[in-house]
């Protein structure tokens, strides 16, 4: 899955990122790799799976501050579902940074 995100949190300038999530058959885990305009480094990440819902959470540095983010995919079907992205800065509460619908990728 490929995710493109643009968000504004608090007094920070807009943050843009592009991330890939894929299944590693060797380790049998879900892995994420991301690049962004403000991520100084990436940290730990995990994927929790429940029927119809995936929650992917990671920790990283954002403009020198420790941050956490959480991407939730829900109402999942073969055709798509809904997504919500939340961000927590410096130990603060998670704040919504984006949400919407997604659909199955198609060949161009």
Query: Are β-strands 2-7 and 29-36 bridged in parallel, bridged antiparallel, or unpaired?
Result: unpaired
Examine residue 59 and state whether it is found in any structural domain, yes or no: yes
Examine residue 108 and state whether it is found in any structural domain, yes or no: no
Examine residue 20 and state whether it is found in any structural domain, yes or no: yes
In tens, the pLDDT along 26-80 reads 766 677 777 776 545 455 577 777 788 888 888 777 777 888 889 999 988 888 8
Res. 92: pLDDT tops 80: yes
Examine residue 9 and state whether it is found in any structural domain, yes or no: yes
Average pLDDT, the chain: 78
- How many domains does the chain contain in total? 1
Q: What is the pLDDT of residue 41?
A: 45
Structural domain boundaries enclosing 31: 2-103
Reading the block at residue 104, the tokens are 């199955």
DSSP tally for the chain: helices H, then strands E? 0, 8
Q: How far apart are CA 1 and CA 105, in angstroms?
A: 9
């Amino acid at each position: 899955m490929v995710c493109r995100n643009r968000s504004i949190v608090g007094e920070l300038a807009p943050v843009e990122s592009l991330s890939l999530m894929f299944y590693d058959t060797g380790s049998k885990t879900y892995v994420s790799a991301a690049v962004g305009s403000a991520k100084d480094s990436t940290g730990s990440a995990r994927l929790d799976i429940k029927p119809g819902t995936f929650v992917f959470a990671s920790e990283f540095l954002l403009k020198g501050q420790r941050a956490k983010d959480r991407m939730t995919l829900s109402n999942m079907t073969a055709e798509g579902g809904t997504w919500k992205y939340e961000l927590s800065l410096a130990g603060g509460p998670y704040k919504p940074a984006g949400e919407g619908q997604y659909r199955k990728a198609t060949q161009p």
